[in-house]
Amino acid sequence: LLLAGIFSTYFHMTLSYVGQLLDELSILWTVAVAYAFWYPRVYYPRCIKSRKHFFWLSGVTTVISTLMSFIKPAFNAYMLNCIAFHLLYLTWCELKKCNDKRVHRMAAAMVMWWVLAISSWISDKWLCGLWQAINFPYFHSFWHVLIAMSLLYCCPLVIYFDVTYEMPSFKPKLGYWPSDSWPVVVPYIALEERHKQC
């Protein structure tokens, strides 16, 4: 994540081709690492038998995507958005199994921020000439802020589901700082022991 921030800053300061590749590839590799560690085992393809095999699958897929981005740089942005759609699908699958209203609220907040972010990205990408003509070229910066807000809710949600699968002796509970009633909050996960172990 630190490298993604550094490379994104470098790209937006220079607007160079190398900066663009560093920015997008650092995000791709960050997402790949997150997938490798936290992708629920229940969703593995049948040919994958262990987390180690899934690490290899994630690694090979990421290397292929990286090489493709050198051939066609625009490929990377669309690949990252495909990953986002897959993440939304996984969230929907998990929400069907979950009755906790707080989890549903967090997922709704994540999706709302993501829809606003992707709308800004599409608007900047496809209507750039229009926004420049009226001297309002800010939608790309909106994208960065809004996707960061979406990730603020996405990360604890992924951790919540990971704890459910990987640490069955604990019950994850969502909390919001500073208060549940605030419109923008920092979500966190608290772990409660389901039962004492001897």
Please state the residue numbers annotated as binding site: 12, 140, 144
pLDDT at 95: 93
pLDDT at 197: 55
Q: Is the pTM of this model over 0.85?
A: no
What are the domain boundaries of the chain?
1-71, 77-197
Regarding predicted confidence, which is higher, 112 or 181?
Answer: 112
Please state the residue numbers annotated as binding site for Zn(2+): 12, 140, 144
195 pLDDT more than 80: no
pLDDT tier, 80 (very low <50, low <70, confident <90, very high otherwise): confident
Rounded average pLDDT over 190-194: 83
pLDDT tier, 8 (very low <50, low <70, confident <90, very high otherwise): confident
DSSP characters for the chain? -HHHHHHHHHHHHH--HHHHHHHHHHHHHHHHHHHHHHS-GGGS-TT--SHHHHHHHHHHHHHHHHHHHHH-THHHHHHHHHHHHHHHHHHHHHHHH---HHHHHHHHHHHHHHHHHHHHHHHHHHSHHHHHHTT---HHHHHHHHHHHHHHHHHHHHHHHHHHHH-TTEEEEEEEES-TTSSS-EEEEEEEESS---
39 pLDDT more than 70: yes
